Every structure is written in C-alpha cells, then in structure tokens.
C-alpha cells in the first residue's frame, strides 16, 4: 500500500485530513507532530497512524522521518498558522514556517523521491489588502501581505514553485481561504465566538460576548471540505500550479456572529474590545475557486449554517 505523510497531523486541518485518508483507505497514513499535547486531536485514530514526533526545523530529524516513511504523497500542513501571533514574534514565525519546509523538501530530494507528489499548503492571507475591483480573488491576483504570517506563507508558496522548477519535483500549491469547524482553537474568531456562547449558556460567564472588528468580510469553508480539496488537488491538480480553495461567498463578521447567537436560546449582549482588533484588517477576501472546480470537480458540500452549528455544539460538549 502507498503511504501518505501529513506534516502537522495533530493540528486542526491535519487531524481531519488524517480521518479522511483513513476512511478512503487508499493509503497507509503517517504523520509528524510537535508536542504530546497536540495528540489530543487524534486520540481516536492514533493506533491507525504511523506517528513521528519531530521538529521540522531540525534537518537531521526531518531526514530520518522521510527515510523511515518513504512517502508517495506528502501533505505539508505543519506551520505556525496565526496572523495575530506572527505580529508578536515574526522571527519565530519565519524560522518555523520557512526552515521547516526547506528541510522537508531537501529530505525528499536527498532520498531521490522524484515521483512523490507534495502539496504545499499556503494561505489566502498572501493576497492581503486586495482592491475591491480585484474581487473575487483568483490565483493571478497580486499579493499585498499585511502580516508577517502572510509573508512567511508567500515564501513557502514560492519555495514550492522553485523546487518544482529547479528539481522537477511534482509539487502543487494550495491557497485555502478561512476554514472553520469543530475543534478549532479560540485564537480564531468563529471558535472564540462559539466558545463564549457555550460558556454563557452554561452560566460560566456573564451574558456578554466580547468581540473585535465585525465589519470585515470573510470567505468561510468548512475544514472537512478544505481537506477534501487537498486530496483532490494532489490527485488531479497539475504539478507547478496553485489552487485557491474557498466558497466564493464572503460574510461580514457581524452576520457570522448573529448566525451563531441565533442558535442560542439565551439573551446575549455584544461588546467590542479594541484589544481584539488586528493591527491591520483586510476588508474582504472573497475567493474565486473556479480553477480548482474545473480541474478537480471539487465543490462545497457543507453549508455555513451547518459548520457554525457544529462549532457551537463542539464547545457545548466541552465540560
């Protein structure tokens, strides 16, 4: 059986991708993780996986993982994924995201895995401060990054392209837009909203929901649809190309919040806190995923309403 390696397998998207690959049954699934705490996300499937605890910033350890697994497919998801945190420590963001990917690609090259397909997961954050006339955003839209995280993802993106052009490694890049789903950390707005609503329902906090900027519009896709796109891109996409992943609909954060509050039976007051604002906030980031749909047949299957319900129910079930 062929092997698929997921870097960052215990992360939010990585754990959903692992479950999808196991369910499909086409690959033995291996993965890297950074800390034991992160394994909480995959406790239910842990015994079905080949797991390797590794810091991808360590080149020797990274080489050992590639030599041990000799993967036929690599989904490179491991990265620091928070724009907010990247402002606090841009150096750590760059060293983690960029050095880790270089070590991974070099290890693949040294093992002469010339036919191993690699998916580099970039981010829609690379587009940054897009002009209104450029919406919806396609793969040719110019990049105007507004966070250290976004710049690190541009570098990851173009490193993937460089290794394809230089070494003919079959590398494909993905630029997912905002994704949501059960289990996402509260560093992300939708999960933060849902966690507070669940706490209010349990009378664990006063009926006041504290928020940041609600005027920004975001294109949300359920994480389960996102990881399905990852598998389709790696099987049907063209090496060297890049694919946007998103719903094509952007919502004001105020509407997302109101949809969540409507799912609750308790009265809730909303208060804005300036410290929750980003240093720079992108007004809109609506996706054009027509290239992805045309080449892979992908389409969104989970509605925004279902995603929000699942996120809220996740936090309701946390003791």
Report strand pairing: 251-252 vs 217-218: antiparallel
DSSP codes, 7-67: ETTTSHHHHHHHHHHHHHTSEEEEEEES-GGGGGGGTTTGGGSEEEE--TT-HHHHHHHHH
Residues 240 and 208 in one domain: no
Measured CA to CA, the distance from residue 289 to residue 138 in angstroms comes to 7
| Torsional class of 53: left (φ above 0), alpha (ψ -120 to 50), beta (otherwise) | beta
Question: Which ranges in the chain belong to alpha helices (H)?
Answer: 12-24, 59-69, 83-88, 90-94, 100-110, 148-167, 189-201, 223-236, 253-262, 290-296, 304-316
- The reply to whether 101 and 129 lie within a common domain is yes
Q: Give the CATH number of the domain where residue 270 resides.
A: 3.90.25.10
Query: Which burial class, exposed, middle or buried, applies to 84 when counting CB atoms under 10 A from its CB (0-12, 13-18, 19+)?
Result: middle
Cα–Cα separations (whole angstroms), residue 14 to 7, 217, 272:
8, 26, 32
- 149 and 208 share one domain: no
- Residue 307: give the domain boundaries: 189-217+250-286+303-316
User: Could you tell me if 273 and 259 lie in one domain?
Assistant: yes
Q: Do 76 and 7 form a contact (C-beta atoms < 8 A)?
A: yes
| One domain for residues 205 and 228 | no
266 and 172, same structural domain?
no
Domain count, the chain: 2
CATH number assigned to the domain comprising residue 19? 3.40.50.720
Instruction: Please give the pLDDT value at position 319.
Output: 58
Residues 98 and 235 in one domain: yes
What's the gap between Cα 10 and its chain centre? 12
**Domain co-membership, 254 together with 243:** no
In the block, residue with structure tokens 């190309």: 241
Of 175, 149, 173, 150, nearest to 245 by C-alpha is 175
Local structure of 245: helix, strand or coil: strand
Does 103 lie in the same domain as 9? yes
159 shares a domain with 80: yes
Q: Which residues of 44-70 are buried (b: 16+ CB within 10 A; e: fewer)?
A: eeeeebebbebebbebebbbebbeebe
Per-residue pLDDT of the chain (319 residues; tens, 9 = 90+): 999 999 999 999 999 999 999 999 999 999 999 988 889 899 999 999 999 999 999 999 999 999 999 999 999 999 998 888 899 999 999 999 999 999 999 999 999 999 999 999 999 999 999 999 999 999 999 999 999 999 999 999 999 999 999 999 999 999 999 999 999 999 899 999 999 999 999 999 999 998 988 999 999 999 999 999 999 999 999 999 999 999 999 999 999 999 999 999 899 999 888 777 767 788 999 999 999 999 999 999 999 999 999 999 999 998 5
Based on the fold, state whether residues 145 and 211 are members of the same structural domain. Answer: no
The residues that bridge with 10 in the sheet, in sequence order, are: none
75 and 132 both lie in a single domain:
yes
Residue 114, exposed/middle/buried by CB under 10 A (0-12, 13-18, 19+)? Answer: exposed
């Amino acid at each position: 059986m062929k092997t698929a390696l997921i870097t960052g397998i215990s992360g939010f998207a990585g754990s959903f991708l692992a479950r999808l690959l196991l369910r499909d049954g086409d690959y033995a699934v291996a993965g890297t993780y950074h800390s034991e705490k992160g394994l909480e996300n995959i406790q239910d499937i842990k015994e079905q996986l080949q797991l390797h605890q590794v810091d991808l910033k360590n080149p020797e350890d990274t080489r050992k993982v590639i030599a041990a697994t000799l993967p036929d497919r690599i989904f490179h998801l491991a990265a620091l994924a928070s724009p907010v945190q990247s402002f606090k420590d841009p150096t750590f963001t760059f060293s983690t995201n960029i050095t880790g990917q270089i070590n991974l690609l070099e290890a693949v090259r040294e093992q002469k895995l010339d036919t191993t397909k690699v998916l580099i997961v970039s981010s829609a954050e690379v587009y940054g401060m897009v002009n209104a006339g450029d919406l919806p955003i396609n793969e040719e839209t110019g990049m105007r990054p507004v966070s250290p995280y976004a710049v690190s993802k541009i570098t990851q993106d173009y490193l993937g392209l460089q290794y394809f052009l230089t070494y003919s490694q079959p590398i494909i890049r993905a630029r997912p837009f905002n994704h949501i789903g059960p289990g996402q950390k509260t560093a992300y707005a939708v999960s933060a909203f849902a966690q507070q609503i669940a706490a209010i329902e349990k009378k664990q906090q006063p009926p006041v929901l504290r928020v940041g900027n609600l005027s920004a519009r975001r294109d949300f896709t359920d994480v389960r649809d996102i990881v399905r796109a990852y598998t389709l891109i790696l099987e049907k996409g063209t090496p060297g190309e890049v694919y946007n992943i998103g719903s094509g609909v952007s919502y004001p954060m105020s509407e997302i919040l109101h949809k969540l509050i409507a799912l609750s039976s308790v009265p809730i007051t909303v208060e804005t806190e300036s410290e929750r604002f980003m240093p720079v906030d992108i007004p809109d980031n609506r996706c054009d995923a027509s290239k992805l749909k045309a080449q892979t047949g992908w389409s969104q299957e989970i509605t925004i309403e279902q995603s929000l319900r699942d996120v809220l129910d996740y936090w309701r079930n946390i003791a």
